[in-house]
Structure 1
Amino acid sequence: MTQCDLPRFGGFGLGMRSPHYPAYLSGEAPVDFVEIISENFMGAGGRPLYTLDKVRERYPVAMHGVSMSIGSADGLKGDYLARLKQLADRIDPLWVSDHLCWTGIDGFNAHDLLPLPYTAEALDMAAANIALAQDLLERPLLIENPSSYISFADDVMPEWAFLAELAERTGCYLLLDINNIHVSATNHGFDAMTYIDAIPVSRVRQIHLAGHSAGRDGLLIDTHDHPVPDPVWALYAKAIRRFGDVAVMIERDDDIPPLEELIAELDIARRLAGLVESAAA
């Protein structure tokens, strides 16, 4: 596809989760946008699409997928991309995003975001898949950095270099998940700020914030079932200083609290961004 600029959108939003549908349908939720899980709305019709159409009348919507399988050696699935495009054309989202991962092979779906080796071969494959998806969707993608629990002996570059090169080759944009950076940095022992400083500022359009859980032997697990913890807030403040006015969203996918609690968390994100902006003035 012809590379095109994706305008910045600097709002603060939440994931559209079913316990909070009434507030979104009424327009009473004090957010600047909502983010949906794309696959939840890729059916032919019914209540999910009706609900989304009504919410879209009141809020901008970002589409976030979990099944594109950008890193798949099988290539992308045409039927999936066709249904994704149909949804995107219907709601005219802020953007469409997915993860730097693979989710299955030979028709098997692991229902998990599986890691890639950071090799030249994997880079070529992921770049080709992103280029194909962007051509078929007729819009640029945002690619999200995953959380990581293992590394590969064949890695020839760090994740941040891999992402930066993908953006350079394909013209895609980046969704920077601050919690995932913290989780991976803790699990692998690298400096989170080294990661953030290596990401091209011009390619970042969205930031995710979330909580995580502690596993065995000090391993952190990206579970999205806790409030955003202090180390992630601290890293977010540093990130927003570098990337400026981008969309910021809190993810909560399990143990979902009342909307008021998530709004209070979102207000922390607003306040920290405001402090950074004031300090830079």
Structure 2
Amino acid sequence: MTAFACPGVQGAGLGLRRSLLTEIIENPQPCADFLEIAPENWINVGGRFGRQFRALTERYRFACHGLSLNLGGLAPLNRRLLSDLKRFLDQHQISVYSEHLSACADEGQLYDLMPVPFSDSNVRRIAKRIRQVEEALERPLIIENVSAYACLPGEMDEPAFINAVLHEADCQLLLDVNNVLVNSVNFATDAEEFIRAMPSERIAYMHVAGHFDAEPELKIDSHGAPVIDRVWQLLQLAYAEHGVRATLLERDFNFPPLAELCAEVAQIRRFQGAAVTPQSLRA
């Protein structure tokens, strides 16, 4: 099967949270091909947690998925954060680093991922910031489509905006399939059209997760529940349209036994193995 691989990670992955550390370390058979962390939660961590993390980096491939870079914000990029990130990525030999296509800070940290206006001026401004991050980290930056609960004024729709940023910055995409579904419900858009509109050649890897139904027409990207059937269906569509990519399961709280998370990771593998090569990639 033809597929575009992210060089640093392959197969089916699991988001690593401190609550899972002991179980994952003690599990004799790794259930995931790679692990992903938010580096902000691990930079300068020592002691028992630091030793456990170091032990895992010797067993697994890792990806980093940032939370506070503030690509879409107006405040200057945090140079101290970039310096800390580079040192951490170098120390643990992690080549895969992604961040959210959102704003999360102004004069202080907002501790949330806020939407940005889908405008041509923002395309150019954010692409410039992406290039600055790549220069500072000496690594490619992968950007993720985000879930949102408000839509700010702009002349583009979300797929067009994402495509424009990817092209202008010449970077790759972390396609979060759950976020696609969440936004399709919250803004009455077509999730399948969104996935088809993404550029195959720029998709590095993918995310799936669970969410919370706050209202019939409002989904919250909680990462606190199992992946639902509709997200699995959209993941299969993404594979059919773009080819199989490394795909990670996110879970942030309400943790079930590790065996249940491993079963969801195994579901990713089954879909990867059963995927049909997309028409555009056939000889």
Question: Normalized against structure 1, the TM-score is what?
Answer: 0.92
Give 1:9 shift: 3.9
Q: What SS is found at the alignment partner of 2:266?
A: helix
Counterpart residue number, 1:74: 75
Does 1:110 find its partner at 2:121?
no
Counterpart residue number, 2:134: 134
State how far apart, in whole Å, the 2-side matches of 1:98 and 1:127 are.
13
Q: How does 1:45-194 map to 2 (within 5 A)?
A: 45-106=46-107, 108-152=108-152, 154-194=153-193
Preserved contact between residue 123 and residue 168 of structure 2 (Cα < 8 Å):
no
Give 1:255 shift: 0.3
Give 1:7 shift: 3.0
Does 1:39 find its partner at 2:63?
no
Q: Describe the superposition over 1:9-41 as per-residue Cα deviations: whole angstroms up to 9, x where unpaired.
A: 431010112232134335632210000111111
How many residues get paired? 275
Q: Structure 1 8/39 Cα, relative in aligned 2: closer, same or farther at 3 Å?
A: closer
Q: Structure 1 93/243 Cα, relative in aligned 2: closer, same or farther at 3 Å?
A: farther
Counterpart residue number, 1:216: 215
Q: Describe the superposition over 1:105-130 as per-residue Cα deviations: whole angstroms up to 9, x where unpaired.
A: 01x21100011010122212211111
Q: Structure 1 95/238 Cα, relative in aligned 2: closer, same or farther at 3 Å?
A: same
Preserved contact between residue 143 and residue 173 of structure 1 (Cα < 8 Å):
yes
Preserved contact between residue 100 and residue 144 of structure 2 (Cα < 8 Å):
yes
Q: Describe the superposition over 1:154-212 as per-residue Cα deviations: whole angstroms up to 9, x where unpaired.
A: 31111122111212122211111000000001111111111111111111111100011
- Higher mean displacement: 80-89 or 209-218: 209-218
Preserved contact between residue 62 and residue 94 of structure 2 (Cα < 8 Å):
yes
Preserved contact between residue 13 and residue 247 of structure 1 (Cα < 8 Å):
yes
- Higher mean displacement: 62-71 or 115-124: 115-124
Q: What SS is found at the alignment partner of 1:215?
A: strand
Counterpart residue number, 1:229: 228
- Higher mean displacement: 250-259 or 165-174: 165-174
Give 1:50 shift: 2.5
Preserved contact between residue 68 and residue 105 of structure 2 (Cα < 8 Å):
no
Q: Describe the superposition over 1:122-159 as per-residue Cα deviations: whole angstroms up to 9, x where unpaired.
A: 2122111111000000010111100011112x311111
- Share of identical aligned residues, percent? 35
Counterpart residue number, 1:16: 16
Higher relative contact order (CA 8 A, sep 6+): 2
Preserved contact between residue 30 and residue 263 of structure 1 (Cα < 8 Å):
yes
Give 1:222 shift: 0.5
Q: How does 1:222-261 map to 2 (within 5 A)?
A: 222-261=221-260
Paired AA for residue 203 in structure 2:
V
Q: What SS is found at the alignment partner of 2:109?
A: strand
Question: Normalized against structure 2, the TM-score is what?
Answer: 0.91
Provide the alpha-carbon RMSD of the alignment: 2.0
Paired AA for residue 227 in structure 1:
P
Structure 1: 5+ residue stretches without partners: none
Structure 2: 5+ residue stretches without partners: none
Paired AA for residue 21 in structure 1:
L
Give 1:268 shift: 1.4
Paired AA for residue 30 in structure 2:
A
Paired AA for residue 147 in structure 1:
S
Paired AA for residue 234 in structure 1:
Q
Give 1:216 shift: 3.1
Paired AA for residue 169 in structure 2:
T
Preserved contact between residue 242 and residue 278 of structure 2 (Cα < 8 Å):
no
Paired AA for residue 97 in structure 2:
V
Q: Describe the superposition over 1:80-107 as per-residue Cα deviations: whole angstroms up to 9, x where unpaired.
A: 000011111111224001101111101x
Q: Structure 1 198/99 Cα, relative in aligned 2: closer, same or farther at 3 Å?
A: same
